[in-house]
Amino acid sequence: MFRKTIISLLLSCFLAFVPTFLNAQDAESKVVFTSIGNDLKSGDATTFSQWFADDIEIDVLGTAGVCSRSQARQLMKNFYSRYTPKSFTIVHLSGSLPMRYCIGTLAAGGERFRVTLFVKSQRDVHTLQQIRIEKD
């Protein structure tokens, strides 16, 4: 009897803290992706590229490949020269540590783009592993 009570109590405590832990992860994801989104919509490739991993998979309007941070920065610079960003809105967040992703809408140059961002988090360091930008 005592053992069942202890197990029930432990299970109740565990279930009480799981939503709090998940909400904390969701809040952290929102903060990280909001920061990345702000840098994306800034229109400054150098600022945005600070999030890039050393080797990043990037697909900008069909130009795709795995490239270095400087090559990816150049691709973003080319994109920004054609499309001046106005806003970025997060549509969906998902994933679990260490990999999370975000799908958002970027309004730029009078057009709308669907942007998918994959982030790897290790401790307090968050790096973009993959970026996909396609017309909406």
SS3 68: strand
Q: Indicate the pLDDT class of residue 8, thresholds 50, 70 and 90.
A: low
Distances (CA, A) of 57 to 10, 26, 81, 130: 44, 24, 21, 5
Average confidence score pLDDT of the chain: 87
E strand or H helix that includes residue 114: strand 111-122
Residues 2-135, CATH architecture: Roll (3.10)
The string of pLDDT tens digits covering residues 48-97 is 999 999 999 999 999 999 999 999 999 999 999 999 999 999 999 999 88
Single pTM value for the model: 0.79
Length of the chain: 136
As a whole number of angstroms, the longest Cα–Cα distance in the chain is 71
